[in-house]
A = this chain, B = another copy of it.
């Protein structure tokens, strides 16, 4: 699938392919036209000519297949439309490498056993509501008041709505997870986190809407905006 709908970059490199087909090399092949019947009663030259013709046709099919695959590769990787064959393949291998590393990074990110025994407990919270100008600041200060440390944060907005995915630990909980400090520091109800986030939600609802007339019906993603993981706040 998806092989012939492309721009036919390398097939139309001059003539409409029939003219090329009866080109120079084909004529040199027809130069051997003689009258010499084979010993088996069958003329051998027409057979040889037919074999040669089918041979060249098979080769032409092979080239078409390969070039069709190259064209689909061009559609898969953006920006390679007018590239060289070799440059296209270079881009292909770089894409495969970076995609492979990114997938393995993500999937085995927290998935490889460490060499030391350890126990880690984190709180993963997500808040989804309509976007407000001061939402991020409010959220940040609320979490700060709970003495929680932000390990990871991911924010995405679509159609005026925002979703914040946060991973939290208690202060110093990362390194102290295997020690006794963790136990004394991390006495926070998940309850507390939940209630705090609900308070953020309520405060946001009591204020005027951020995007009044939102003309965005199309999808629009926004990954990790520069504002959220701001560490230092009001001292």
Residues of A in contact with B (beta carbons under 8 Å apart): 62, 65-66, 69-70, 72-73, 76-77, 85-86, 89-90, 92-93, 95-97, 99-100, 102-103, 105-130, 143-145, 148-154, 156-159, 161-163, 165, 167, 169-175, 177, 182-183, 186-191, 193-195, 197-198, 201, 205, 216, 220-233, 235
Contact A163 B96 (CB under 8 A): no
- With contacts A86-B65, A89-B66, A149-B230 known, is A117 near B201, CB below 8 A? yes
Tell me the number of copies of this protein.
Answer: 2
Contact A122 B119 (CB under 8 A): no
Measured in the bound complex, the distance between the Cα atoms of B99 and A1 in whole Å is 19
User: Which residue from chain B places its CB closest to the CB of A234 in the assembled complex?
Assistant: B235
- With contacts A89-B73, A111-B156, A163-B113 known, is A171 near B126, CB below 8 A? no
What chain B residues lie within 8 Å of A126 (beta carbons)?
110, 118-120
Our pick among B69, B92, B119 for the contact of A194 (Cβ within 8 Å) is B119
Residue of A62, A65, A69, A162 with highest tally of chain B CB at under 10 A: A69
Known: A121-B194, A151-B224, A173-B226; 14 extra A-B contacts, CB below 8 A, are: A69-B92, A73-B92, A99-B103, A106-B106, A111-B156, A112-B163, A112-B220, A113-B162, A119-B127, A121-B124, A124-B167, A148-B231, A186-B189, A235-B235
CB distance from A99 to the nearest CB of B (A): 4
What chain B residues lie within 8 Å of A230 (beta carbons)?
149-150, 231
Measured in the bound complex, the distance between the Cα atoms of B226 and A144 in whole Å is 17
Residue of A86, A119, A149, A223 with highest tally of chain B CB at under 10 A: A119
